[in-house]
Amino acid sequence: MDIAIGLLIIAIGAFCQSSSYVPINKIKDWNWESYWLVQGVFAWLAFPLLGALLAVPAGESLPNLFAHAKMLDIGMTILFGMLWGVGGLTFGLSMRYLGVALGQSISLGTCAGLGTILAPVMLNLFYPEAHHLEKLTASVLIGVAAALVGIAIIGMAGNMKAQSLSEEEKKAAVRDFNFPKGIAIALLAGFMSGCFNVGLEFGSSIHFEESAEMFRTLPATLLVTLGGFVTNAAYCLYQNGKNGTWGDYRKGSVWMNNLVFCALAGVLWYSQFFGLALGKGFLAESPVLTTFAFCILMALNVVFSNVWGIILKEWKGCSPKTITVLAIGLAVLIVSSFLPQLLG
| Highest mean predicted confidence (pLDDT) among 32-41, 86-95, 292-301 | 32-41
Residue ranges per structural domain of the chain: 2-343
Three-state helix/strand/coil letters over 252-264 = HHHHHHHHHHHHH
With 0-12 / 13-18 / 19 or more C-beta atoms within 10 angstroms meaning exposed / middle / buried, residue 323 is: middle
H-state helical runs in the chain: 2-18, 32-40, 47-53, 62-68, 71-126, 138-164, 167-173, 179-193, 195-202, 218-243, 252-282, 287-311, 320-343
340 pLDDT more than 80: no
3-state secondary structure string across 72-85? HHHHHHHHHHHHHH
Grouping H, G, I as helix, E, B as strand and the rest as coil, residue 321 is: helix
Cα(201)–Cα(77) distance, integer angstroms: 8
Supply the mean pLDDT for the chain.
84
Identify the pLDDT of residue 231. 95
Contact 240, 34 (CB under 8 A): yes
| Mean per-residue pLDDT, 270-280 | 92
When pLDDT is averaged across residues 95-124 and rounded to a whole number, the result is 73
Per mean pLDDT, which of 22-31, 240-249, 332-341 is the most reliable? 240-249
Residues in the chain: 344
Q: Tell me, what's the pLDDT at 100?
A: 60
Q: What is the pLDDT of residues 131-143, one digit of tens each?
A: 777 877 888 788 8
pLDDT(269) > 90: yes
CA distance 165 to 109: 24
Reported as a pLDDT band with limits 50, 70 and 90, residue 342 is low
